[in-house]
Copies of this chain bind each other. A is one copy, B any other.
Amino acid sequence: MGTQATDGRTSGSDQPCRPLRADAARNREKLLEAATEVFAEHGTEGSLEEIARRAGVGVGTLYRHFPTRACLVEQVYRHSVDEVCAAAPRLLEQLDPFDALATWVDGFVGYVSRKKGMTSALREAMGPDSDAIFADVHERLEGAASLLLGAAQQAGMARTDAEPLDILRSVSGMCMAAAASQDPERTKRVLALVLDGLRYGAPAAEASPRTENLASV
């Protein structure tokens, strides 16, 4: 559930201040989860009191951890990215390289749709400061994609002329378009298409499409 890299303080500053007290850390985690839910349902404008309620915590606690709505949005966003990135090496241990890639991409779709209004909310609230966040996130996502694609390529299960950014771009682009047309079925179809395209022309090609067996969203 929790990712190992998320027990930092509220802000991005990495000053070595004393770690959170146990109960505080617990509540922080619960708040983050509740906020993820609420933002997914109602967008970034969802009620903060609702979030506190779902986390089983008073509003005061919420405000102490995240003094600002933007601050909360940022942390939820980072948390979401953490999870996606952390999944990459884990999947690689459990599945064969191509399936790992396919499953990861499926998770990435979830990430993209969850982050829906977050980026614009962040950009609006933090101005130019947001650039640093996005740059960081971008880099980490590319790293994860690179890891998986590289493995699939080395195993001869993905064409060698594809690049990590190709995947990120095409998938996130697809999600935007699909979100606009409100059609989850289409998302699935196009996703399968991209993945098959990725495999097409790979050295070890017995390219019978079998991208159906994704864990569905």
CA distance A181 to B131 in the complex (A): 10
Q: Is the CB of A117 within 8 A of B128?
A: no
Q: With an 8 A cutoff between CB atoms, is A124 at the interface?
A: yes
**What string of 1s and 0s marks CB contacts (under 8 Å) between A4-19 and chain B?**
0000000000000000
A164-195 near B? 1/0 per residue, CB < 8 Å: 00000000000000001110000000000000
Task: Say if the beta carbon of A2 comes within 8 Å of chain B.
Answer: no
A: number of interface residues (CB 8 Å): 10
Q: Is the CB of B43 within 8 A of A124?
A: yes
Q: Find residues 102-141 in chain A having any chain B CB closer than 8 Å to their own CB.
A: 117, 120, 123-124, 127-128
B182 A127 Cβ-Cβ under 8 A: yes
Inter-chain CA distance A127–B127, complex, in Å, is 26
Specify which chain B residues have a CB less than 8 angstroms from the CB of A182 in the assembled complex: 127-128
| Chain B residues whose CB sits within 8 angstroms of the CB of A127 once the complex forms | 182
Partner of A124, one of B117, B123, B124, B128: B117
Among A43, A123, A124, A182, the one with the most B-chain Cβ atoms within 10 Å of its Cβ is: A124
* C-alpha spacing A127/B180, complex, angstroms: 7
Whether A128 pairs with B43 at a CB distance below 8 angstroms is: no
Which residue of the partner chain B has the closest CB to A180?
B128
Chain B nearest CB from A114 CB (Å) reads 16
When C-beta atoms are compared, the residue in chain B nearest to A183 turns out to be B128
Contacts of A124 in B (CB 8 A): 43, 117
A184 CB to nearest B CB, Å: 14
For A45, the closest partner residue in chain B by CB is: B45
Give 8 pairs: A residue, B residue, CB < 8 Å, sorted on A: A43-B124, A117-B124, A120-B120, A123-B180, A127-B182, A128-B180, A128-B181, A128-B182
A-to-B contact residues, CB < 8 Å: 43, 117, 120, 123-124, 127-128, 180-182
